[in-house]
Chains A and B, each alone.
Chain A
Amino acid sequence: MKYEAVIGLEVHLHLNTRTKAFCGCSTEFGKEPNTQVCPVCLGFPGSLPVYNQAALDYAIKVALALNCRVQEYTKFDRKNYFYPDLPKNYQVSQYDLPLSVHGFLDIELNGQLKRIGITRVHMEEDAGKLIHQENASLVDFNRTGIPLLEIVSEPDINSPEEAYEYLAMLKSTIQYLDVSDCDMEKGSLRCDANISLRPAGTKILGVKTELKNMNSFKGVKDALSYEIRRQAEMLDSGEKLRQDTRLWDAKAQETIAMRTKEGAKDYRYFPEPDLPPFIIKEDKIAEIKKTIPELPKEKMQRFIKDYGLTEYVAKILVASKQGALFAEECLKKTTDKNIKSVANWIIGPLSALTSSTCAIHELNISADNLAGLVDLVENEKIISNLTGKIVLEEMCKTGKTAKAIVEEKNLAQISDSQSLNSIIEEAIKENPKSVADFKAGKANALMFLVGQVMRKSSGKANPKVVQELIRKRLANA
């Protein structure tokens, strides 16, 4: 049977406030275990929480960027369960009156726009980290109490690819807000997925499984793909699916059922009596709204409109805020004629010099210098594309202008026929077969000869001029 996947994602996000959610401890990552703790985040008896105002502001910012309705009256609740990484044996979270509800995020896949609903964005605190040893388990409480947001999507996602796009767009949007580094490796972004299958075209809901332990966006995609296959096979063979929680094993590339206990979990939620409810006023929301920068979706649309870029190119350029800022500076410093070339240089050769287009702003090259390089290649034809790439690498190493490097290393193209003719004569002499082929009408032979001249000139010959000269020379012969 043909099935449709119904997927909902639950994302947990660390807010990068300087201090924890309910105390003054630092949130810095990677410190010695249990060095960033105090009586409050250790849940010592008698200690009381005080909510970090910056965390509330960040949370509202995210909620607004995800088009959520921020509720005027919101409160914290206690989620009660025993676990050694949870020092109070309850987590301060939000239950029936979350910070915000009814949002959405637009994603784009294969040129199709799709709106994914966001059920809620709520505030909570992170737990500690367990480190298991042979005969003991240790607890690191440094992470305990770091402000978290839980972002719950509607089950509007229908494929692993859409899930991937949703996560990429979510990460990009949140990074634009400067409220989280969204690093899955550091655990500052975590994602669980709920997935069920139903016969394509129907609206019924199947039995869902919850997937955990994915350590990358690709892991989420792979786990979902695996789970779709597993569930489809079971359904096809008439087996009954069980509602359970499964862990993704990235090595084995499969999901494994967690041991589950009988009966549903009962967290005994109730209002946190140590924290009075919040009233979030309109003017506060308006004030925070003002701090939200142009988000990737809008920026992309503007790049297409203002610079005449294709959707494909614009989307790559806006993936990160800093990268997009640099890219736009380059586009602004370029003549209209060169804009497309500059964009292609950015997403091509420039991005290749670092991990991705998201990191181009970290390279040691100014927007002016990049524009200058493209001008040398495209307008003035002083260097070839190939030489351009070598010059670009040198520019990033030294911070020098393209012109300076070209002069210093004598890389300027040779375009005058006098200098070129002797090299061309040599190439013709050495390759009689290609000459014959060309005369017999084989176009490829001409390109081969041009290549020979380029090689002999160490790439400095102007390929267009060379091509013309060879064509003329052989026509005369």
Chain B
Amino acid sequence: MELYKLTAHELLKKIKNKETTSEQIVSDLTKRIKGVDAKVQAYVRASSSTLLAPDSKPNGIPVSIKDNICTDGYNTECCSKILQGFNPPYNATVINKIIASGNSFLGLKCNMDEFAFGSSTENSCFGPTHNPWNLDCVPGGSSGGSAAAVAADEAIWALGSDTGGSIRQPASFCGVVGLKPTYGRVSRYGLIAFASSLDQIGPLTKDVQDSAFLMNIISGYDAHDSTSINIPVSDYTKDLINDAKGLKVGIPKEYFVEGLDSEIKAIVEEAINKLKSLGAQFKEVSLPHTEYAVPVYYIIATAEASSNLARFDGVQYGLRAKAEGLVDMYKKTRQLGFGDEAKRRILLGTFALSHGYYDAYYLRALKVRTLIKQDFDNVFKDFDYIITPTSPTAAFGIGEKMDDPLKMYLSDIYTISVNLAGIPAISVPCGFTKKGLPVGLQILGKPFNEGMLLRLAYTYEQNTAWHKVKPRL
């Protein structure tokens, strides 16, 4: 039986009814990975013999994990040479929650852009992941490995991290469901930081129900993360109500302008019409500071990254280059260990924080960030949701944007504002381009109201069949 094709909630039901076991699921998945991962390359350091992390006991459904989430005794390298062989002596809080839930356990580690720097999963020291819908295309990024694994049925579900769209954009490119929770909803303890004020861990799943289920497992206050917020978490599966009647949705005019692929635009408009027919009320709204989101993001995110990545110096762990003396060791280790994009962002961030430039760049960016947040607050006074495309294009070709960082950065133009504002958002499949590549619909919600977000996503999904279409591999 092809258990790997199923969702987590379908499999858990089968386990409960004693129709299958965790061991059977693992063995089925292992076969699938052996069959297709050579083409997709969603996983890193995959041992051919087993799907499980060392010491991991099958209990429920395995969760595949992005390589920047710390797993005790199990390599966590952020797909960077500089963390080669890094074996954390602790689990991220989300990993402990997964193990403790009884419904899930630790699976394999997924490919990603080095330190989550990128939108294509091409910036990985292990090489790129391929989009299961078209192996010549990128899966998006930076959680491209997690998204591709779920899309290719190499994972039942997976965890990614989202700093500027790194869960939603690959979910959109690979035709799966990706949710970025409210900042502070999921503990960041054990997530190797890219930009601390923006990062959140979230689920990549085959459908909205699994997204709600995985959110139940990973959400909640953590005393080890000072930025996690102590607000009670409800049972998200209870929010899965197939009803959009009277829900108020804003459509930001700034998101439907030049740069948006006309095919994507048409598909997203069709999805909006579908929701209208289901009773949701739509109105055009304005998020006036949208145009500043990308520059603000690349100042704040790189500034924080430049400091967060300073610890990779060859002293305690990871790569240490052979060198003469301390400064030489720092230089050579970082020169050898970091890829081009990591170096680019460290330089950008260091510059933005430098004496004489701080006020003009970083401080200013913080102020504009507040304005962007206020834009959302204003809209959410009158609306329950905002709907946009997840990405201005469908998946692009491998290598296509590698020489043009600015073009690559613009691939996140619709997802970045959400991180700056700290609000939750979900990407759900909403159609295919003529070339057969998936398109994602992005739904944005109010802070700490993931339940409402899941409800509209669920309603859309229950009345469409896009999530059921599978790539041929």
Contact = CB atoms under 8 A, between A and B. Distances in A.
Nearest to A44: B88
A87 B354 CA distance: 21
A46 B316 contact: no
A143 to B, nearest CB: 16
Contacts of A266: 354-355
A332 B226 CA distance: 51
Contact of A50 (B70, B195, B224): B224
Contact of B310 (A44, A47, A50, A88): A88
Nearest to A263: B355
Interface in B175-234: 188-193, 195-197, 223-227
A89 interface: yes
Interface residues of A, number: 30
A90 B307 contact: yes
A157 B224 CA distance: 43
Nearest to A264: B355
Contact of B358 (A82, A90, A264, A270): A270
A367 B312 CA distance: 60
A268 B306 CA distance: 10
Nearest to A45: B192
Interface string B69-97: 11000001010000100101110100000
Given A78-B307, A82-B330, A44 B317 contact: yes
Given A39-B89, A270-B353, A276-B227, A46 B192 contact: yes
A43 interface: yes
Given A89-B313, A139-B315, A48 B307 contact: no
Contact of A46 (B88, B330, B350): B88
A47 B353 CA distance: 23
A84 interface: yes
B contact face: mostly helix, strand, loop, or mixed: loop
Nearest to A139: B315
Given A270-B362, A273-B196, A276-B226, A46 B311 contact: no
A45 B354 CA distance: 24
B110 interface: no
B307 A270 contact: yes
Nearest to B300: A273
Nearest to A22: B226
Interface string A25-56: 00000000000000100111111111100000
B304 interface: yes
A80 B310 contact: yes
A46 B224 CA distance: 11
Given A270-B358, A274-B227, A80 B353 contact: yes
Nearest to A51: B226
A325 interface: no
A423 B307 CA distance: 88
Nearest to A39: B90
A436 interface: no
A89 B329 CA distance: 14
Contacts of B190: 46-47
Interface string B313-342: 101110000000010001000000000000
A46 B92 contact: yes
B225 A273 contact: no
Contacts of A273: 195-197, 227, 304
Contacts of B167: none
Given A46-B70, A48-B225, A39 B304 contact: no
Contact of B188 (A43, A44, A48, A90): A48
B307 A47 contact: no
Interface residues of B, number: 44
A275 interface: yes
A139 B306 CA distance: 24
Contact of A48 (B226, B306, B326, B330): B226
B456 interface: no
B311 A87 contact: yes
A82 B304 CA distance: 16
B310 A89 contact: yes
B326 A46 contact: no
B224 A45 contact: no
Contacts of A48: 188-189, 224-227
A274 B83 contact: no
Contacts of B227: 48, 273-276
Contact of B226 (A80, A264, A275): A275
B88 A39 contact: yes
A268 B88 contact: no
A274 B83 CA distance: 22
A43 B310 CA distance: 10
Contacts of B311: 43, 45, 87-89
Contacts of A80: 306-307, 310, 353
B368 to A, nearest CB: 16
A264 B354 CA distance: 12
B303 interface: yes
A275 B311 CA distance: 18
Interface in B109-125: none
Nearest to B92: A46
Contacts of A47: 90, 189-190
A46 B190 CA distance: 4
Contacts of B315: 84, 87, 139
Contacts of B191: 46
A457 to B, nearest CB: 74
Among the interface residues A51, A78, A89, A276, which one has the most CB atoms of the partner chain B within 10 A?
A89
A39 B92 CA distance: 12
A268 B354 contact: yes
Contacts of B317: 44
Nearest to A79: B307
A464 B44 CA distance: 98
Contacts of A139: 315
A90 B353 CA distance: 13
Interface in A79-118: 80, 82, 84, 87-90
A39 B76 CA distance: 14
A269 B356 CA distance: 12
B326 A84 contact: yes
A64 to B, nearest CB: 25
Contacts of A89: 310-311, 313
Among the interface residues B195, B196, B310, B317, which one has the most CB atoms of the partner chain A within 10 A?
B310
Interface in A104-135: none
Contacts of A46: 68-70, 76, 88, 90, 92, 189-193
B197 A45 contact: no
Contacts of A51: 226
Nearest to B190: A46
Contacts of A87: 311, 315-316
A43 B193 CA distance: 12
B359 to A, nearest CB: 11
Contacts of A264: 355
A78 B307 CA distance: 8
Contacts of B310: 80, 82, 88-90
Nearest to A266: B355
B211 to A, nearest CB: 24
Contacts of A276: 226-227
B350 A268 contact: yes
A343 to B, nearest CB: 51
A457 B367 CA distance: 90
A90 to B, nearest CB: 5
Contacts of A50: 223-226
Contacts of B76: 45-46
A268 B196 contact: no
12 contacts: A44-B90, A45-B86, A45-B193, A46-B88, A48-B188, A50-B223, A80-B310, A84-B326, A87-B316, A88-B311, A139-B315, A274-B193
Q: Which 10 residue pairs spanning A and B have beta carbons closest together?
A: A89-B310, A273-B196, A268-B353, A273-B197, A45-B192, A46-B190, A46-B70, A266-B355, A46-B192, A88-B311
Interface of B: 68-70, 76, 78, 83, 86, 88-90, 92, 188-193, 195-197, 223-227, 303-304, 306-307, 310-313, 315-317, 326, 330, 350, 353-355, 358, 362
